Structure 1
Amino acid sequence: MTRVGILYPGYSAEDDYKTFASRLDDVELPLVHTLMREDAHRVDALLDVGSEEVLSKGAEELSNAGIDSAVWACTSGSFVFGWDGARRQVQGVRDVVGVPASSTSFAFVHALRQLRLSRVAIAATYPDDVARHFERFLTEAGVTVLSLASHGIVTAAEVGRLDPDEALDFVISNDHPGADAVLVPDTALHSADLIDPMEALLGKTVLTANQVSIWEGLRLAGRCESRPGPGNLFRSGTSTVRDAFERR
Structure 2
Amino acid sequence: MTGKWHKPLNEIKDAIAEAAAALSDTNPGVIVFNCTANSMEGGLAGEARVREVIQEASGCPAITAGQAITEALKLFQLKKLVLISPYVAATNQHEIRFLSEAGFDVIHDLGLGLRGGAQYINVTPQRWKEIALENVRPEADGYLLSCTNTTMIEAIEELEQSLKKPVVTSNQAVLWASLRRLNIAQPIPGLGRLFRTAS
Q: TM-score, normalised by structure 1?
A: 0.74
Question: Which amino acid in structure 1 is aligned with residue 179 of structure 2?
Answer: L
> Which of these residues, 38, 49, 54, is aligned with residue 93 of structure 1?
54
Q: Which runs of 5+ in 2 are unaligned?
A: none
Per-residue CA deviations over 1:86-131 (Å, capped at 9, x if unaligned) read 1111111122232221111111111111122222110111001110
1:140 aligns with 2:101: yes
Structure 1 residues 163-242: aligned runs within 5 Å = 163-223=124-184, 225-229=185-189, 230-238=191-199
> Structure 1 residues 45-54 or 69-78, which shifts more?
45-54
- The residue correspondences of 1:1-248 to structure 2 (distance < 5 A) are 38=4, 45-47=6-8, 51-223=12-184, 225-229=185-189, 230-238=191-199
C-alpha separation in 2, matches of 1:50 and 1:120: 31
Aligned equivalents of 2:124, 2:10: Cα separation in 1: 25
Aligned length: 198
Helix, strand or coil: the match of 2:26?
A: coil
**Shift in Å, 1:194:** 1.2
**Cα RMSD, aligned residues only:** 2.0
Secondary structure, counterpart of 2:159 in structure 1: helix
Q: TM-score, normalised by structure 2?
A: 0.91
Provide the C-alpha distance between the structure 2 equivalents of 1:160 and 1:50, rounded to a whole number of angstroms. Answer: 26
Cα separation, 1, equivalents of 2:11 and 2:99: 19
Give 1:171 shift. Answer: 1.9
Greater shift in the superposed pair: 124-133 or 114-123: 114-123
Could you list the per-position Cα deviations for residues 156-201 of structure 1 after superposition, in whole angstroms to 9, with x for gaps in the alignment?
Answer: 1110111332222112212321111110111111133211111111
Gaps of 5+ in 1: 1-8, 10-35, 40-44, 239-248
